[in-house]
């Protein structure tokens, strides 16, 4: 076994089905000039399954959570809700027939047709076998956006908005976004901030406000969906109505779009919606994002901004990308950041920005920034950034700078052990030493300067740009460290070498200085293409070094960088355009922005040519030109797909002249820089396509003309066919009166079918460092989920042929794979090993995965654990026998969107390895997982439960009193039978939580349970604002139960009869009654009411189940009920807890999917849980607030419940009860 190494990315367990996360490549510093061979710069770094895994670099997936896409269209795509519900029913029926345990997390229908579910990985093939299923995706964990390193300087936002013409739109055209609603799906917004109209003090403003008038917190402060967060991992969302920001990112984003105060955003007059999908730290998951998107539609947002996403999820099939596209088709302009993975090479864009109708945005660096300066000998202000953690630099006095090597040499970088000679150390001693960036870390450079006796270390860049160096390390750096730009550093070093040193004066002052990278693509901005060769991003906007609002609790303003900062510029631009033209459609808005963009020079060598199209899209937006434009050219970006070197295609664009005069356009082709190579090993080249297009086009007033363009793909000698592109400009008028409009084009001249996917690890010189794929084992890991190491710092070791896995948690097979390119599909099949080491009989397929991604670096890998389990002929999950095995891995290559050929495959056979479960103590315990739904009170708990169960909405909602149980008792069964939620109300007022839930559920009808004594007429009137409302009520509780029964049942095989004097027995029966489509009728303890007797006679059931002991329902009453039934069966215990357990034991399967657990001392939580439990074939069990009753534990054990879902806060069901549940192990 080799020694351990870091850097592997854990993956979901390979147990019938595995779930993956995508990784990306690291891009090294670029050369500053092209050579004679047209190489501009090296870019290298530094039959279809329904079951699909969508990748995201370094992102986790929610364990056991999946999106199930159903076959029909969503409602916005023409589907009907009836058809969607029929598909759900068919799918759930198929699941039940297959005996699969499944929990429905959420249901969707308007933007995307499907469900999110919790299920075992090995059950996915059975789920996929349903004819109702189109595809299955994992539910991804989405990291909270982080700024790239080196961004804490303070440029004004004004310089950024002036880059896009937003200042002209505000000051000269008179638009500020007034009347336009922009939704920000992010970490929330600090609406206390004065730049959003707040009072200027934390927690002093009441939401909603005039400026932040919409929003919702979908998760709560403590939410964190990242399993690697350790104790901070808290994946259960606790929604509330307050979307205040405690993280910062969302406030910063919102300020860029719409701040009005010290900071002026792009559209300072917009009305904002704050849709919070992150807690105070950590990650969210993609179905939470889907909830938020649907709420923006419900709130009639005009524009939605998502400065978040799943890095490297470069597939438009991912549910969040599908949802943003559906929003766009509904008329909402959706803007999303394209990702901050530019350092990770090609194909690093991610969902939802890759959506076809979503505007994906890349980042451009701001033109100015405020920086601390010192003064050189010539009196020049020299800006610098401060390295940390290290002592702060002086703010006064003088120091001498020295250099001991020429800039640009390897020696100037001061890497390795003891890089300075004794003579050089004598020069450095007591002075500040200049050291150039490159080859080794900033810490190593600072450590070497410190060891040489330097009073301080001044680093200088080796490329244009600004960065804050991190010098973190052990032992810590004890001298000040600063960093200056390339030009200043080389000048100071040359002067210091030519003299005895260069004297600088420290001032501690700041100055606004030009950014050397200003107006160029940010180094962090992700690079396309998408997995199918579609070009993304669509366009770019300022995102590097942006000063904007920040939560008051932290600091009122901050400077951040990222495509997260670029997207809100475009969202603000869309708002300005909509104010100028309220009838502007989604596609036209995108088209105008693209046509009016300006193209940027290549950031690696600006004099060489234009930036690659698959990084800047059509270019940087110019909002004033977009508003004033009287020409559109469609499409804005011509997608060529795969078009091999030397091949040609003719594409047409439509030029439309909306002015009232004829326009003559001069046409010009301008090629952009291209890339050639794989995602991890590539270079930038001058490889222009040949474009044949008319030199002049005339378009009449108000008319359109189709313009053909014949494009021939270029080649790069000795290299792969390039990813290439360029621009065709259409200019009308001359001189200062000229207006130029642009379309971009892009294609890939390499054949994806010839690209190696399963590749070896290599070093920077191309030498193989490890043959891959390989079998491995976890070496070190502080946090496991099953056999998966979810600790980011986990390490792995390779194993030799014949290695025997003990199947302890840290000693299970880990399949280590390096992907040099994205893959369409990967399959694992396991074979018994023959005596001669060859493949023997097939044991079966372990996993079938779709939509995979490439590895992060040349030597990166993905680790896929296998738990040694297979499915038997009955679909049960079983261990393979101890013995020797060979795993066969087959990868299907990605195809271009326009390639009709069958995809090629690559295959790898593992060496023989052994499985030895015998003696392993891991994985032998059978226990339930525990979840909880809770709100601020009974009303918010019921609302949260309903929204979780019906996130896509519900046609019917039942509303019952949260304070009086009698009229509501029978309603839980009815709601469960028709699969509708129960919400709670105060008798005389509709709670805000219930209002919010009704907004999210969007019912067609509302059924009020009980008379005006339970829910008065004013509440019914308020409910009428949300949907058509009817009341089910009788003159008393018994007649109300009869009314409920008659509303849905003509006859019945089963009827439940419970006491009307108290709630526990009736509620214990409600879930079972809902599942059985049965009525719950009520009785007095010693007398069967006439209305109940008549309803029993009408229903004529085969069986009447009497719930509770004879004190609750006497034998005489049971006998009277039997007169109208075939038999009477009593289900009861010694108390309410035992009765609920008896009902669960009678009606729910063993092993069962689980149970809902609610307090037995109050009725509302159990009432709200009953219909949701019925929908999921789960029982409702009861508990004491501070102690779990023995009857409840026994019922769980008999059912072998795999999930227990607690309903209610910790006052209703204590933490002690939850911990007791988590400790229960089934015998």
Q: DSSP alpha helices (H): ranges in 1062-1181?
A: 1064-1076, 1090-1099, 1115-1122, 1136-1147, 1164-1175
Of 505 and 438, which is predicted with more confidence? 505
pLDDT of residue 1074: 85
Residue 917 to residue 914: CA distance in whole angstroms: 10
What is the pLDDT confidence band of residue 20, given thresholds at 50, 70 and 90? very low
From its phi and psi, is residue 1178 left (phi > 0), alpha (psi between -120 and 50) or beta? beta
| End-to-end Cα distance, the chain | 38
Tokens 């004890």 found at: 478
3-state class (DSSP) for residue 171: helix
3-state class (DSSP) for residue 422: helix
pLDDT of residue 904: 95
Residue 987 to residue 157: CA distance in whole angstroms: 51
Q: Which residues pair with 177 in a beta bridge?
A: none
What percent of the chain has a predicted confidence (pLDDT) above 90?
53
Neighbours of 1142 (CB within 10 A): 20
Q: Could you give the angle at which helices 586-595 and 563-580 cross, rounded to 10 degrees?
A: 110
Neighbours of 781 (CB within 10 A): 18
Pull the structure tokens for residue 46.
Answer: 């530094």
- DSSP strand pairing (723-732 vs 682-685): unpaired
- CATH number of the domain at 368-514, please? 3.50.30.30
Residue 328 to residue 69: CA distance in whole angstroms: 19
Pull the structure tokens for residue 987.
Answer: 């008798």
Residue 502 to residue 427: CA distance in whole angstroms: 13
For residue 877, is pLDDT > 70? no
Q: What is the pLDDT of residues 249-266, one digit of tens each?
A: 999 999 999 999 999 999
Mean pLDDT of 385-399: 92
Tokens 């409600």 found at: 1070
Nearest to 943 by CA among 951, 1068, 111, 103: 951
Residue 211 to residue 532: CA distance in whole angstroms: 41
Residue 958 to residue 971: CA distance in whole angstroms: 7
User: Rounded to 5 degrees, what are φ and ψ at 1104?
Assistant: -110, 120
What is the pLDDT confidence band of residue 290, given thresholds at 50, 70 and 90? confident
The distance from CA 583 to its chain's CA centroid, rounded to whole angstroms, is 31
Of 1130 and 28, which is predicted with more confidence? 1130
Mean pLDDT of 763-777: 90
Residues with a catalytic annotation lie at 186, 249, 564
User: Rounded to 5 degrees, what are φ and ψ at 434?
Assistant: -90, 125
CA angle 689–691–696, rounded 5-degree value: 150
For residue 1179, is pLDDT > 80? yes
With 0-12 / 13-18 / 19 or more C-beta atoms within 10 angstroms meaning exposed / middle / buried, residue 1021 is exposed
For residue 674, is pLDDT > 90? yes
Of 1209 and 894, which is predicted with more confidence? 894
| Domain boundaries 61-143, CATH class | alpha beta
Q: Please compute, for residue 323, the number of CA atoms within 13 A of its CA located in the half-sphere on the CB side.
A: 30
The distance from CA 946 to its chain's CA centroid, rounded to whole angstroms, is 23
Maximal C-alpha separation, the chain? 113
Residue 880 to residue 845: CA distance in whole angstroms: 12
Residue 565 to residue 55: CA distance in whole angstroms: 24
8-state DSSP, 1175:
H
- CATH number of the domain at 630-752, please? 2.60.40.10
Q: Do domains 61-143 and 630-752 have the same CATH topology?
A: no
For residue 744, is pLDDT > 80? yes
Q: Where are the beta strands (DSSP E) in 1020-1102?
A: 1028-1032, 1054-1059, 1079-1083
Q: What is the pLDDT of residues 343-359, one digit of tens each?
A: 889 999 988 999 999 99
| Domain boundaries 157-366+520-629, CATH class | alpha beta
pLDDT of residue 624: 98
Mean pLDDT of 748-768: 89
Residues counted in the chain:
1227
Mean pLDDT of 123-130: 79
pTM (2 d.p.): 0.69
Q: DSSP alpha helices (H): ranges in 1148-1211?
A: 1164-1175, 1190-1199
What is the pLDDT confidence band of residue 144, given thresholds at 50, 70 and 90? low
Mean pLDDT of 540-548: 93
Lowest mean pLDDT among 927-941, 1014-1028, 1195-1209: 927-941
Domain boundaries, the chain: 5-46+756-915, 61-143, 157-366+520-629, 368-514, 630-752, 929-1223
């Amino acid at each position: 076994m080799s020694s351990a190494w870091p850097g592997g990315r854990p993956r979901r367990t390979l147990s019938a089905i595995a779930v993956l996360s995508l990784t990306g490549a690291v891009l090294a510093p670029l050369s500053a000039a092209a050579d004679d061979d047209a190489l501009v710069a090296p870019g290298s770094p530094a039959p279809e399954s329904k079951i699909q895994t969508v990748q995201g670099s370094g992102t986790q997936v929610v364990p056991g959570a999946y999106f199930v896409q159903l076959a029909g269209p969503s409602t916005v795509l023409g589907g009907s809700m009836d058809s969607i519900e029929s598909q759900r029913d068919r799918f759930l029926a198929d699941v039940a027939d297959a005996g699969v345990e499944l929990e429905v997390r959420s249901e969707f229908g308007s933007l995307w047709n499907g469900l999110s579910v919790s299920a075992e990985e090995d059950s996915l093939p059975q789920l996929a076998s349903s004819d109702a299923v189109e595809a299955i995706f994992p539910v991804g964990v989405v990291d909270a956006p982080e700024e790239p390193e080196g961004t804490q300087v303070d440029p004004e936002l004004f310089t950024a908005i002036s880059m896009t013409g937003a200042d002209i739109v505000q000051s000269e055209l008179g638009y500020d976004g007034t009347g336009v609603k922009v939704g920000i799906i992010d970490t929330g917004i600090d609406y206390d901030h004065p730049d959003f109209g707040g009072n200027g003090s934390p927690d002093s403003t009441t939401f909603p406000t005039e400026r932040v008038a919409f929003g919702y917190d979908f998760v709560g402060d403590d939410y964190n969906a990242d399993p690697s967060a350790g104790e901070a991992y808290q994946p259960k969302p606790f929604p509330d109505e307050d979307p205040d920001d405690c993280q910062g990112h969302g406030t910063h984003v919102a300020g860029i779009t719409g701040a009005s105060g010290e900071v002026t955003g792009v559209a300072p007059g917009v009305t904002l919606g704050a849709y919070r999908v992150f807690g105070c730290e950590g990650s969210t998951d993609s179905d939470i994002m889907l909830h938020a998107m649907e709420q923006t539609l419900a709130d009639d947002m005009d524009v939605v901004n998502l400065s978040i996403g799943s890095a490297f999820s470069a597939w438009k099939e991912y549910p969040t990308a599908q949802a943003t596209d559906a929003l766009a088709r509904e008329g909402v302009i959706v803007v999303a950041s394209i990702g901050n993975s530019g350092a990770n090479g090609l194909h690093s864009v991610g969902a939802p920005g890759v959506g076809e109708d979503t505007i994906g945005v890349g980042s451009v660096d701001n033109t100015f920034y405020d920086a601390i300066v010192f003064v050189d000998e010539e009196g020049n202000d020299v800006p610098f950034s401060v390295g940390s953690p290290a002592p702060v630099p002086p703010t006064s006095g003088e120091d001498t700078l020295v250099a001991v090597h020429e800039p640009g040499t390897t020696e100037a970088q001061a890497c390795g052990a003891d890089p300075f000679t004794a003579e050089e150390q004598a020069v450095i001693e007591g002075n500040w030493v200049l050291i150039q960036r490159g080859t080794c870390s900033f810490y190593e450079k600072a450590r070497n300067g410190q060891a040489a006796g330097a009073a301080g270390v001044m680093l200088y860049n080796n490329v244009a740009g600004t960065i804050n160096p991190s010098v973190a390390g052990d032992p810590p750096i004890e001298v000040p460290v600063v960093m200056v730009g390339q030009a200043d550093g080389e000048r100071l070093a040359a002067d210091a070498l030519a003299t005895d040193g260069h004297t600088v004066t420290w001032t501690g002052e700041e100055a606004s200085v030009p950014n050397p990278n200003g107006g160029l693509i940010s180094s962090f901005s992700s690079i396309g293409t998408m997995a199918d060769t579609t070009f993304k991003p669509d366009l770019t906007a300022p995102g590097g070094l942006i000063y904007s609002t920040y939560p008051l609790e932290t600091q009122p303003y901050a400077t951040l960088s990222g495509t997260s900062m670029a997207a809100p510029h475009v969202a603000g631009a869309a708002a300005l355009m909509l104010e100028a033209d309220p009838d502007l459609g989604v596609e036209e808005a995108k088209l105008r922005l693209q046509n009016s963009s300006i193209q940027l020079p290549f950031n690696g060598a600006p004099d060489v040519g234009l930036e690659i199209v698959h990084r800047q899209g059509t270019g940087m937006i110019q909002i004033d030109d977009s508003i004033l434009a009287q020409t559109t050219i469609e499409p804005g970006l011509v997608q060529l797909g795969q078009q091999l070197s030397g091949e040609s295609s003719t594409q047409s664009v439509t030029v439309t002249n909306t002015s009232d005069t004829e326009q003559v356009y001069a046409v010009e082709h301008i090629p952009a820089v291209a890339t050639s190579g794989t995602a991890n090993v590539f270079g930038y080249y001058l490889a222009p396509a040949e474009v044949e297009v008319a030199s002049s086009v005339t378009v009449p007033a108000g008319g359109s003309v189709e313009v053909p363009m014949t494009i021939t793909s270029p080649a790069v000698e000795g290299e792969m066919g390039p990813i290439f592109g360029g621009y065709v400009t259409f200019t009308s008028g001359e001189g200062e009166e000229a207006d130029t409009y642009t379309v971009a084009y892009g294609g890939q001249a390499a054949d994806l079918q010839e690209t190696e996917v399963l590749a070896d690890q290599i070093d920077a010189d191309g030498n193989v460092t490890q043959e891959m794929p390989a079998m491995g084992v976890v070496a070190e890991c502080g946090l496991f989920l099953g056999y998966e190491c979810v600790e980011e710092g986990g390490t792995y070791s390779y194993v030799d042929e014949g290695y025997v896995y003990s199947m302890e948690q840290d000693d299970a097979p880990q399949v280590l794979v390096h992907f040099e390119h994205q893959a369409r599909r990967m399959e694992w099949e396991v074979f018994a090993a023959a005596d001669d080491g060859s493949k023997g009989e097939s044991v079966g397929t372990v996993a079938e995965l779709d939509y995979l991604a490439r590895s992060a670096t040349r030597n990166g890998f993905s680790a896929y654990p296998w738990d040694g389990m297979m499915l038997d002929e009955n679909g049960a999950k079983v261990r393979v026998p101890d013995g020797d095995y060979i795993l066969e891995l087959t990868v299907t290559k990605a195809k271009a969107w326009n390639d009709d050929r069958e995809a090629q495959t690559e295959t790898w056979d593992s060496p023989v390895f052994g499985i030895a479960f015998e003696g392993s103590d891991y994985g032998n315990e059978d226990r339930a997982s525990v979840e909880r739904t809770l709100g601020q009170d009974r009303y918010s708990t019921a609302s949260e439960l309903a929204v979780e169960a019906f996130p896509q909405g519900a046609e019917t909602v039942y509303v019952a009193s949260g304070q009086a149980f009698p009229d509501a008792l029978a309603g839980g069964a009815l709601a469960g039978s028709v699969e509708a939620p129960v919400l709670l109300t105060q008798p005389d007022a509709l709670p805000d939580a219930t209002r919010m839930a009704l907004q999210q559920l969007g019912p067609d009808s509302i059924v009020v349970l009980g008379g005006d004594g339970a829910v008065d007429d004013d509440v019914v009137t308020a409910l009428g604002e949300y949907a058509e409302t009817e009341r089910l009520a009788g003159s008393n509780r018994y007649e109300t139960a009869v009314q409920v029964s008659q509303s849905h049942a003509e006859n019945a095989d089963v009827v439940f009869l419970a006491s009307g004097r108290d709630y526990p027995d009736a509620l214990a029966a409600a879930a079972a009654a809902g599942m059985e489509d049965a009525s719950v009728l009520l009785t007095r303890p010693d007398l069967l009411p006439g209305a109940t007797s008549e309803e029993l006679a009408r229903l004529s059931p085969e069986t009447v189940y009497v719930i509770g002991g004879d004190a609750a329902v006497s034998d005489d009453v049971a006998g009277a009920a039997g007169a109208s039934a075939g038999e009477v069966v009593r289900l009861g215990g010694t108390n309410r807890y035992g009765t609920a357990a008896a009902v669960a034991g009678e009606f729910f399967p063993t092993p069962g999917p689980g149970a809902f657990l609610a307090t037995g001392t109050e009725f509302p939580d159990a009432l709200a849980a009953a219909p949701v439990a019925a929908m999921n074939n789960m029982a409702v069990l009861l508990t004491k607030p501070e102690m779990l009753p023995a009857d409840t534990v026994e019922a769980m054990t008999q059912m072998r419940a795999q999930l227990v879902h607690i309903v209610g806060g910790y006052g209703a069901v204590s933490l002690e009860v939850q911990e007791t549940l988590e400790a229960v192990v089934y015998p």
